[in-house]
Structure 1
């Protein structure tokens, strides 16, 4: 399903780039970026790989933190958008069009070259991540780390229903959010709308937590960092469903042994 997935992202690349802009959306700013940076522990002069980089928002952030960055995506349109937004980073970011499901193409990025790699909300968009996992064991230096975030598989499956309830309890309005799911263990693809109004749905590949962990364990990685971030409750939380006290994403750090 890689070709289908890639063509969809090429079609929605301009829409996503325009929506995310220079600073991305609230989800990335408050949920993904802070804990990802905490797990990456970026240091001046490190060589980092940004996998499925999209329009390069996080690639530029890594460069601002002092890293040398190689960033790739399988959507040529996304890479063109990333380059247009990164004219001041030509000496710090090398953008390339690479398919994360193509093992040989991944190895051309350089073996044992990277101190770390990152993939922000991307692995669930990749039809087959086995080749990427295998390649990372070659691309990373000894003790190199891979930090990635995905929608939390326990709470965001293809069958998830988000429920926002309100009741008058003895004169006080009480609200409650909950999640209802009917499947979890079975990996399955689905079509999804990540941003309301995008031209076509893109493909999402649900996998349970054990799938990710066992895949990386079998490739010589250990899990040494994990976060399940959620939004802080705000003044509007009582009027809508929000990911308050239910984590919409999970962020892993695997280390090459």
Structure 2
């Protein structure tokens, strides 16, 4: 078994182990991170139209698939965790005619392309690509699955600010009798792709695998396959007065891209 295949299988087994814990934690509305950072910008970039067919990649418990259905879309959502898909089906009884869930591995090109050539108006992946060991088969397949000028919107942890070995720093200083708080990060590496273990939610049964890639890695891969970058957002939390802990205000914790399938010439 090759190194990539071992990483893919290891990643999948860890998500199967974490699936029920994540579903219980995220529930129907997901967490603050998704509600305040991911969903608003993603919906803006997708610009969903009535009856569009949208592919929800690594859909988890189906939170965003259901939101897409609320906006009038037809949805095919998939995840490589069968437990996640079972939970998604249980939570989506009100949208059975709009959402179709599948168990598919995003690294399996043939399984993806069988969903239908030039079938989808758009695709979305919320906080998932950094959890996928090899994204090249997925991007290649998407170029075939999307209609001409179809878009792919995806969010990831910001690779410039959240990478292996990153340290969060919270400092306070007395400036002319006023306590001033500052948040910053320390990084020691960025350019080289690297797998690492991480906790997405405190208390999850096991750490899951994440895969750091630079911005140039993502952009060059998409451009090589035939996409063009036409929008990008770097959302952060609204500033709150509470200053006794690190939070993401001036440093964006995520980045959201919209790539468009280039028209054939």
TM-score, normalised to structure 1's length? 0.99
The runs of 5 or more residues in structure 2 that have no matched partner are 1-6
Instruction: Tell me if 1:241 matches 2:254.
Output: no
Instruction: Tell me if 1:35 matches 2:45.
Output: no
Match of residue 187, structure 1, among 180, 193, 200: 193
Partner of 2:24: 18
The alignment partner of 1:210 has SS state of helix
Please give the residue correspondences for 1:32-111 in structure 2 after superposition, counting only pairs within 5 Å. 32-111=38-117
* Residue 153 of structure 1, CA deviation: 0.2
* Residue 108 of structure 1, CA deviation: 1.3
- In 1, Cα distance between the equivalents of 2:140 and 2:46? 20
The alignment partner of 2:206 has SS state of coil
* Residue 89 of structure 1, CA deviation: 1.0
* Residue 235 of structure 1, CA deviation: 2.4
The alignment partner of 1:196 has SS state of coil
After the TM superposition, which segments of 4 or more aligned residues of structure 1 sit over 3 Å from their partners?
none
Instruction: Tell me if 1:253 matches 2:240.
Output: no
- In 1, Cα distance between the equivalents of 2:230 and 2:51? 23
Q: Give the alignment's Cα RMSD to 1 decimal.
A: 0.5
Instruction: Tell me if 1:140 matches 2:164.
Output: no
Partner of 2:229: 223
- In 2, Cα distance between the equivalents of 1:234 and 1:62? 30
- In 2, Cα distance between the equivalents of 1:60 and 1:109? 20
Please give the residue correspondences for 1:162-181 in structure 2 after superposition, counting only pairs within 5 Å. 162-181=168-187
* Residue 191 of structure 1, CA deviation: 0.3
- In 2, Cα distance between the equivalents of 1:235 and 1:60? 34
Partner of 1:130: 136
The alignment partner of 2:56 has SS state of strand
The alignment partner of 2:59 has SS state of coil
The runs of 5 or more residues in structure 1 that have no matched partner are none
Deviations 1:14-51 (A, max 9, x none): 00000000000000001100000000000101000000
The alignment partner of 1:239 has SS state of coil
The alignment partner of 2:144 has SS state of helix
- In 1, Cα distance between the equivalents of 2:191 and 2:149? 31
- Count of aligned pairs between the two proteins: 256
The alignment partner of 1:203 has SS state of strand
- In 2, Cα distance between the equivalents of 1:219 and 1:152? 22
